Structure 1
Amino acid sequence: MTFDVHQLDSFVLVGAAVTLAAILAVRATAVAGLPSLLLYLLMGVALGESGVGIGFEDAELAHALGFGALALILAEGGLTTSWSTVRPSMRLGVSLATVGVAVSVTTVALGAHFLLGLPWELAILLGAVTSPTDAAAVFSVLRVVPLPRRLTGALEAESGLNDAPTVVLVGLISTGALAEEGLLQIGGVIVFELVVGALSGLVLGFGGAWVMRRIALPSSGLYPIAVLSLALLAYGAASAMHASGFAAVYVAALVLGNSVLPHRVATRSFAEGVASLAQIGLFVMLGLLLSPTRITLETVGLAVVAGLVLTVVARPLSVFVSAAAGPMARRDLAFISWAGLRGAVPIVLATIPLAEGVEGAERLFDIVFVMVVIYTLLTGPTLPLVARRLGVAQRSEPRGLDVEAAPLERIAADLLQVTIAPDSRMHGVEVGELRLPRGSSVAMVIRDGDTIVPEHRTVLRHADDLLVVTPRRAREATEERLRRVSAGGRLAQWLEDDSR
């Protein structure tokens, strides 16, 4: 195989143009209330054999690249998820990712076999690949729907955890292990992979956080790369032990994202950028893999019926059964049922039977692809209306404080850079009214490009940047106090935080 520099130039040109177009299109999809994945998928179809003419039929490569992209997306999800947000809803999230998945797979498989006439193997595969929700699809829409933490936490936990069991299940079915082994043995394999994967993530997450707190890297830009590499290391280590890499990468990223580490804001921003790039590449690739000439009216009909079974029967049933582990009000459960968006995950999972050469895998892939597009178009734009009708929408929680940190190794302290955003209630508060923990202090205020050495009576304003020095042992309490004042103003110490 010879290397052609002109082919590389063409690849860079097309890749850069597609990436820029996809990034610019995010704004349009956000205004319309649609997940950007739909546009990326259509861009892939347009570039494919029925459009520009780029041929791509390598299911094994799509499978490998898809898993790599999902690992990056899950790492970003863990790094940007607040443990305080998901903790109250973690029992429900875990239940949705395990019991809920089992109920959904069973319900869809029964419907696909008896209503659509699919063979049992394809019917079970259809149920398995369509059961997990997709974090990228869910939260690209939920950004415009302000929700209480109990709902946000449940949806975040579910979308971060339910990939792992379904990947294991789809792999076992596609390789024929489900037919050869008993249900008890298959259940044992799934439990082993999940438990070992989660433990691997915990070990590498806490171990990585311990190391990151004790080293001073020569460049701040290396911290985000190191943290993301630690999360991916957990994926590789778990996979090497034949455990769930997806469970490992999400758990490790969740630990790292909630640990006291240098440059956390920069790390989150870097992870979001990398995950966005992975999403664009993933969805465009999946669009390339689709052959529009294979899409018939029969395929569309099967996708519509299967989607109805999933959306109207399987999803609500799985949510209400799972709620036994984490009870919620019926209106909350109803919204969670409707917010179970499917995105890249079902389509990527559908590449597993393609790569394994399962009979009817192409038909399954086409059905899943069409179903994801149709029902994302149906449910995505209606989420704000459903939230209002069910009475679960609320005013956006104050997000008026951005905190960045840099280590001061010689004195075991951290320097926090705090930006007071336009919606922060810290505006008008005096420095002395912050009442920071012992040892923490505001060292400097930067306003309109000028530096101010603050006094006790210095009044803070919107757009101010504060430099706060805090002992490392008091950093978490200092950040918490700053966030409380940002949310509640000078009365924060007397007002209870209703969002918790």
Structure 2
Amino acid sequence: MDDLLISSDYFILLAALLLIIGVITTKFSTRLGVPALVLFILVGMITGSDGLGLIYFDNAKVTQLIGVLALVVILFEGGLQTKISTVRSVAKPALSLATAGVLITTAVVAAAAKLILDFSWLEAFLFGSIVGSTDAAAVFAVLKGQNGKLGSVLEVESGTNDPMAVFLTISFIELLTVEDPVYALLVGSFFWQMGLGLLLGIAFGKLGSLCINKINLDSSGLYPVFTMAFALLAYSITDLVNASGLLSVYVAAMLIGNSELTYRHSIFRFNEGFAWMMQILMFVILGLLVFPTQLFTWEVIWKGVLLSAILIIVARPIAVFLSTIKMDFHLNEKIFLSWAGLRGAVPIVLATFPLIAGLENSPMIFNVVFFVVLTSALIQGSTISIFAKKLGLAGPVKSEPVHSLELVSIGKANAEIIEVEAKADIPILGKSLAEVEFPKDVLINAVIRGTELVTPYGETVIKKGDVLYILVSRKSKKELKRMLNIHE
């Protein structure tokens, strides 16, 4: 019994230290210009059995479980932040890259893998499928706060191309392990997975939004938990009927995030923090799973470097240029889209599938995929901003308020506080509060001007850039937003 308690205490201590180190590395990643995911992986590799020897871990099944769960949380948080209006504006190029782009990348990389790794064609296409998609966790982390069309294309692409990579990976594993595969069934399976995943995502998104707003909980802290439950429900039920759970989660999140939500601020902040925690956990676990003595061998290094170069310089650009034919992109934009095709957690998680399936060359696949991801994250992830500036494509960065407002639960009062920024198109700009006829049950609580708090009164004039905190009853919220020209 004492040994069990000591073991539990040791595990909890390590978990705490890994989280603290993971959070601190995000500060260093910004200063060093290195994506945080690389530092998270290094933390796992250093603390693993080939490093300091603090943790021995080699369980691919547990890694896959944690990886998939983390991807659900990360995709859900990314979907919540995605505006449907943005998706509509970039749907054609983003979906083309997420489907045709993945297929083209897979084919080009497969041809290279056949020669370099001396695999069979099916094994080569399996490798190409694993590294064929850009990674949502990596792209969301690197492009966080970036505005503009290209950033939107990359985020929507990364959020929707994982299902294609998962489908191709599982399909090629089946072709390698089943004696008499029926190729025609794969086509039907693709449309079933994508079509039903989309429909169930819409259904869970609408159901989640309705339930969140209708239920009246005693604590505001329960709303984010309730919301996350719908993300897990959307993935699990969709996956149980052999449809794309990841696509379902992303679509459901977009619908929930674009709805009028009770305690919207609390829900978004919780999911942002939870997504970061799962991202840290996932990359540290992935770092623990790899053994540096097996990874950094001459065979893996030269093959990994060559395949990385082909993926970054050949396969991705070909996929981008072919997938965006006759679309409104000029040369510099296509070059940037090509360079910003980051690889991250998804390929490493998918590389555990051949390990679990017991394929002959699965260790080599895993190690080379891991090396490809590391080089992609280090080279592409650390130079995206530089490329954007050199190509004249550095878009505006979304401004984040330097202040914060923590709200006490007022669910029983059927009211909430909303945050409104006074932009150029807001009708009350330049008017005093006394001149504005607000709807019933509306009260201006505070005005933030720059870094100063302005106490509102009748003669207070609304200036551009002001942030207003407005207490409004839920029945008057829509009327207030129409008046202020606010569109979610």
With normalisation by structure 1, the TM-score equals 0.86
Aligned length: 482
In structure 1, the partner of 2:172 is: 173
Quote the Cα distance in structure 2 between the aligned partners of 1:351 and 1:213.
39
TM-superposed deviation, 1:301: 0.8
Query: Structure 1 pair 354/467, CA: closer, same or farther in 2 (3 Å)?
Result: same
TM-superposed deviation, 1:79: 1.4
In structure 2, the partner of 1:488 is: none
In structure 2, the partner of 1:24 is: 24
Quote the Cα distance in structure 1 between the aligned partners of 2:408 and 2:98.
37
Tell whether the 8 Å contact from 2:74 to 2:137 is kept in structure 1 after alignment: yes
Query: Structure 1 pair 350/111, CA: closer, same or farther in 2 (3 Å)?
Result: same
- Listed as ranges, the gaps of 5+ residues in structure 2 are none
Letter aligned with residue 155 of structure 1: L
In structure 1, the partner of 2:458 is: 455
TM-superposed deviation, 1:444: 2.9
Quote the Cα distance in structure 2 between the aligned partners of 1:138 and 1:425.
32
Quote the Cα distance in structure 1 between the aligned partners of 2:287 and 2:367.
11
Tell whether the 8 Å contact from 2:430 to 2:462 is kept in structure 1 after alignment: yes
Quote the Cα distance in structure 1 between the aligned partners of 2:201 and 2:326.
24
Tell whether the 8 Å contact from 2:424 to 2:464 is kept in structure 1 after alignment: no
Query: Which residues of 2 match residues 289-328 of structure 1 at below 5 A?
Result: 289-295=289-295, 296-324=297-325, 326-328=327-329
Tell whether the 8 Å contact from 2:37 to 2:138 is kept in structure 1 after alignment: yes
Quote the Cα distance in structure 2 between the aligned partners of 1:27 and 1:82.
28
Tell whether the 8 Å contact from 2:122 to 2:175 is kept in structure 1 after alignment: no
In structure 1, the partner of 2:51 is: 51
Instruction: Give the 3-state SS of the residue equivalent to 1:176 in structure 2.
Output: helix
Query: Which residues of 2 match residues 49-448 of structure 1 at below 5 A?
Result: 49-53=49-53, 54-143=55-144, 146-148=146-148, 150-176=149-175, 180-295=180-295, 296-324=297-325, 326-399=327-400, 414-418=415-419, 429-432=430-433, 441-445=442-446
Quote the Cα distance in structure 2 between the aligned partners of 1:82 and 1:276.
20
Query: Structure 1 pair 461/91, CA: closer, same or farther in 2 (3 Å)?
Result: closer
Query: Structure 1 pair 402/5, CA: closer, same or farther in 2 (3 Å)?
Result: closer
Query: Structure 1 pair 113/478, CA: closer, same or farther in 2 (3 Å)?
Result: same
Tell whether the 8 Å contact from 2:220 to 2:409 is kept in structure 1 after alignment: no
Tell whether the 8 Å contact from 1:97 to 1:161 is kept in structure 2 after alignment: yes
Quote the Cα distance in structure 2 between the aligned partners of 1:156 and 1:330.
20
In structure 2, the partner of 1:475 is: 478
TM-superposed deviation, 1:195: 1.1
Tell whether the 8 Å contact from 2:105 to 2:132 is kept in structure 1 after alignment: yes
Quote the Cα distance in structure 2 between the aligned partners of 1:246 and 1:204.
13
TM-superposed deviation, 1:370: 1.0
Quote the Cα distance in structure 2 between the aligned partners of 1:422 and 1:26.
31
Tell whether the 8 Å contact from 2:86 to 2:152 is kept in structure 1 after alignment: yes
Letter aligned with residue 467 of structure 1: I
Quote the Cα distance in structure 1 between the aligned partners of 2:464 and 2:452.
13
Query: Structure 1 pair 347/423, CA: closer, same or farther in 2 (3 Å)?
Result: farther
In structure 1, the partner of 2:469 is: 466
Letter aligned with residue 164 of structure 1: P
Query: Structure 1 pair 64/395, CA: closer, same or farther in 2 (3 Å)?
Result: closer
Tell whether the 8 Å contact from 2:425 to 2:485 is kept in structure 1 after alignment: no
TM-superposed deviation, 1:432: 4.0
Cα deviation code 1:426-471 (max 9, x no counterpart): 9994444996875574443367999956326555698865224265
Report the RMSD for the aligned CA atoms in angstroms: 3.5
Between the two proteins, what is the percent identity of the paired residues?
A: 32
TM-superposed deviation, 1:278: 0.8
- Listed as ranges, the gaps of 5+ residues in structure 1 are 485-499
Query: Structure 1 pair 325/202, CA: closer, same or farther in 2 (3 Å)?
Result: farther
Question: Does 424-433 or 160-169 show the bigger shift?
Answer: 424-433
TM-superposed deviation, 1:176: 3.1
In structure 1, the partner of 2:36 is: 36
TM-superposed deviation, 1:139: 2.9
With normalisation by structure 2, the TM-score equals 0.88
TM-superposed deviation, 1:133: 0.9
Tell whether the 8 Å contact from 1:406 to 1:416 is kept in structure 2 after alignment: no
Quote the Cα distance in structure 1 between the aligned partners of 2:437 and 2:90.
30
Instruction: Give the 3-state SS of the residue equivalent to 1:51 in structure 2.
Output: coil
